[in-house]
Amino acid sequence: MRLPIAGDAQAFVNDAPVPSSAGRVVLPAPNSLRRVCTVRVKPSAGRTAGALLSGPVTYETGPGRMELGDWSERGLDAWSGGVIYRRDVQHAAKPVGRVFLDLGRVRGTAEVRVNGKMAGACIMAPYRVEIGSHLRAGGNRIEVLVLNTLGPYFREFSATHFVFPGQEKSGLFGPVRLLASDG
């Protein structure tokens, strides 16, 4: 986490102090969910309120593990954007017939890639994409990019009556299945 603060800052994660240096805080336990970071600031002379920050607080992010379900239950309460779900699957031989990836329930849009190639996109139910032509014998990487709306962001940071019940939910809920068909 980068804190562009005018003054001295001390960060705490779940009430435990964490080291910071030159406005950079390394947050512990990167695979944990639901952590709270509190920052105590001793401001530079004359710097108060919004003037404490010389820019936005930013984060360096990377891959992690996340179970299927509502993003707000996984620590992404106000996230408006995308999450990529990735799974490697093995096939003894190239599949014969049609093979579908059925995503089950999704709140958002879904783009499916197989072995790096776009297989299809869904904007509403049923969230099902034919992927058989993209599969090969051996290892296959399946990626699903789920993109949500601005509902969670607006609910958290810019209250508006245009966010209706249910619009703040986001994610891939599943169940996710591979379905084969002879036709």
Per-residue pLDDT at 159: 77
Is 59 inside any structural domain? no
How confident is the model at residue 183, as a pLDDT? 58
Q: Are residues 16 and 81 in the same domain?
A: no
Query: By C-alpha distance, which of 69, 76, 89, 175 is closest to 131?
Result: 89
**H helix or E strand, kind and range, residue 152:** helix 151-157
pLDDT at 118: 98
pLDDT value at position 86?
96
Range of the domain at 47: 7-52
Q: Is residue 66 part of a domain?
A: no
The burial of 135, by beta-carbon neighbours within 10 Å (0-12 exposed, 13-18 middle, 19 or more buried), is given as buried
- Domain total for the chain? 2
Residues 83 and 170 in one domain: yes
| Mean predicted lDDT score pLDDT of the chain | 89
CB 173 within 8 A of CB 107: yes
Residue 98 lies in a domain: yes
Do 169 and 123 belong together in one domain? Answer: yes
Block mean pLDDT (10 aa), the chain, length 183: 87 90 83 79 84 84 85 87 95 88 97 98 97 95 96 84 83 96 71
Which CATH number fits the domain that encloses residue 105?
A: 2.60.120.260
- Per the CB < 8 A criterion, the answer to whether 131 and 101 are in contact is yes
Count of beta carbons in the 10 Å neighbourhood of residue 163: 18
Verify that 80 and 43 share a domain, yes or no: no
* DSSP 3-state of 141: strand
Q: Quick check: is 64 in a domain?
A: no
